[in-house]
């Protein structure tokens, strides 16, 4: 998200650094500030939390003014990048194929990728949710062979920043469908090992019931990541293990 100042970054990082959260074995925490604050966040953040860029260019750097290349992120030792966010798909017309090319190039440079997929309200109301997310995932699957460093982030566009949240049943249904799609089209091992996380108005109040769903492997957190409740969301990662 395009939010914050350097002082805001300091405040948020301070809260995170002081938080008591489960160990890295239980939950992997990745913080994704805007490009201009990446170095600051990385320098201040506790070592068990990683940073991610919010985007990168589709191929090697060059005459692409205003863009940031995967190589630059590697050079800065930024391990993660978020690609295909719904806002970039909608506002900047990034197609499924373009996003897939980005994912493939970033992976080839050694970055780990959070690849975003999701349907609009119109698509959900038309009953095409699974068609849409399957097509978005298929484009990526056609360009990569190794899923080790890919996390899929399902973000229903109608639930991003709107206060509307997919019910736990709606979220689980899509995550289950995505896992079945991966099983049938990529392979059982990839379907089992690939993390599918949920994004869309996740907050401290709803994170536990969402985290308890069998096919939700974590969250891509928006507005709530700017608030202290982000710590509660991190802690919700242990819901499954504590109820097992």
Point out the residues that are catalytic: 85, 155
Burial-class residue 239 by CB neighbours within 10 Å (0-12, 13-18, 19+). middle
- Measuring CA to CA, which residue among 240, 234, 238 is closest to residue 202? 234
Terminal Cα distance for the chain, rounded: 35
Structure tokens at 201: 């108005």
The residue assigned the tokens 């750097």 is: 61
Cβ atoms 82, 53 nearer than 8 A: yes
Phi, psi (degrees; rounded to nearest 5) at 16? -65, -40
């Amino acid at each position: 998200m395009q939010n914050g100042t350097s002082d805001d970054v300091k405040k948020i990082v301070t809260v995170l650094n002081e938080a008591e959260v489960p160990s890295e074995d239980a939950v992997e925490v990745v913080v994704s500030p805007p490009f201009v604050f990446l170095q600051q966040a990385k320098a201040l953040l506790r070592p068990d939390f990683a940073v991610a860029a919010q985007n990168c260019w589709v191929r090697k750097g060059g005459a692409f003014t205003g863009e940031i290349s995967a190589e630059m992120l590697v050079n800065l030792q930024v391990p993660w990048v978020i690609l295909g966010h719904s806002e970039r798909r909608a506002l900047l017309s990034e197609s499924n194929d373009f996003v897939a090319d980005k994912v493939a190039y970033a992976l080839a440079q050694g970055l780990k990728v959070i690849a975003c997929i999701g349907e609009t309200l119109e698509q959900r109301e038309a009953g095409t949710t699974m068609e849409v997310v399957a097509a978005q995932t298929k484009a990526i699957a056609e360009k990569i062979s190794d899923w080790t460093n890919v996390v899929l982030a399902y973000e229903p566009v109608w639930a991003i920043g709107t206060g509307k949240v997919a019910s736990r049943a709606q979220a689980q249904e899509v995550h289950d469908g995505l896992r079945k799609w991966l099983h049938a089209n990529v392979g059982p091992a990839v379907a089992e090992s690939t993390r599918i996380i949920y994004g869309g108005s996740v907050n401290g109040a709803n994170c536990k019931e969402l985290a308890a769903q069998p096919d939700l492997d974590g969250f891509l957190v928006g507005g709530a990541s700017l608030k202290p409740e982000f710590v509660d969301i991190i802690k919700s990662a242990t819901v499954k293990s504590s109820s097992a």
